[in-house]
Chains A and B, each alone.
Chain A
């Protein structure tokens, strides 16, 4: 089942790496108390999604490569997200003088 005529690395290997990266990102997103680390975890998750898109684009959609175009859009949105997220983080830090995620409870009901 894991045989692959294109190269020695099967598609499943890429999927496994990306699944691990995604789960690490989810764990970091939940458990980080430093707000910068939360943003880093989000970037890890976006990278995992990109690996998935790229590997499917190369193995299954090799002639049209829609996945590569889509991952370029994902990279664009990730860059915008990082910029706005860090700006929000800076203004939060100015107001609260902390980056502990536990102290950001303005919207807590």
Chain B
């Protein structure tokens, strides 16, 4: 075993330990802010696994999209909705957790059995390594062109949908609109920002 092998092995062990413990902490920790930051750590460890798999472009995309966008979005959502409310206790929560834990353990055992027992067709063709980025670009502009364009439309739709859903609805009183139409005395009017009963 030369030094490259042992380095790769150690890197894999560290990254998988980070992924396993981090994902457990994301799910189990009480404080949601800790969970969000640990989720960023899990995303970075997954990007490290991609680097071990000779996929530098996807690793960079993972860091940019997940750590840079999704995780920051989740942190903003936590900041917007976090009011430390006390959750009402509900009946049967413990049994629900135990039953779902049993189901998930069963699923895990099933997946482990499949992945260990199946005779995978390895080694396949030799890995192309550093050429992967060029090959991804060729794929995206030849045989995956239609999914690529559909993905761009999907991103546009998601952006517009997120803006429409998260927009705060403003109700403007009718006399204000009438003042706007007749264009008189706009200077002393304040634009009402909040809807509700405070505006009479």
| CA distance in complex: A106, B5 (Å) | 55
Residue-by-residue, is A18-60 near B (CB-CB < 8 Å gives 1, otherwise 0)? 0111111111101111111101110110010011001101111
Q: Does B1 contact A (CB under 8 A)?
A: yes
| CA distance in complex: A66, B20 (Å) | 27
Instruction: Report yes or no: A65 in contact with B112, Cβ–Cβ below 8 A.
Output: no
Residue-by-residue, is B80-122 near A (CB-CB < 8 Å gives 1, otherwise 0)? 1100010110100000110011001101100110011001111
Least CB distance, B102 to chain A, in whole angstroms: 10
Q: Does B165 contact A (CB under 8 A)?
A: yes
Residues of the B chain whose Cβ atoms lie less than 8 Å from the Cβ of A47: 42-43, 46, 66
| CA distance in complex: A78, B96 (Å) | 28
Least CB distance, A14 to chain B, in whole angstroms: 7
Residues of the B chain whose Cβ atoms lie less than 8 Å from the Cβ of A90: 77, 80-81, 165-166
| CA distance in complex: A86, B79 (Å) | 12
Instruction: Report yes or no: A65 in contact with B132, Cβ–Cβ below 8 A.
Output: yes
Instruction: Report yes or no: B46 in contact with A51, Cβ–Cβ below 8 A.
Output: yes
Residues B126-176 near A (CB distance < 8 A): 126-128, 132, 135-136, 139-140, 144, 147, 151, 154-155, 157-159, 161-163, 165-166, 168
A-B pairs with beta carbons under 8 Å apart, 27 shown: A6-B123, A12-B115, A12-B120, A17-B19, A19-B112, A20-B20, A21-B19, A27-B101, A34-B32, A36-B78, A40-B35, A40-B39, A41-B27, A47-B43, A59-B122, A59-B123, A62-B124, A65-B139, A69-B144, A71-B58, A75-B58, A78-B65, A82-B73, A89-B81, A90-B80, A91-B165, A98-B85
Q: Which residues in B have some Cβ–Cβ distance to A below 8 Å?
A: 1, 5-6, 8-9, 12, 16, 19-20, 23-24, 26-27, 32, 35-36, 39, 42-43, 46, 49-50, 52-55, 57-58, 61-62, 65-66, 69-70, 73-74, 76-78, 80-81, 85, 87-88, 90, 96-97, 100-101, 104-105, 107-108, 111-112, 115-116, 119-128, 132, 135-136, 139-140, 144, 147, 151, 154-155, 157-159, 161-163, 165-166, 168
Closest A-B pairs by Cβ, 10 of them? A80-B158, A28-B27, A15-B115, A19-B111, A87-B165, A62-B127, A63-B125, A87-B162, A87-B166, A58-B53
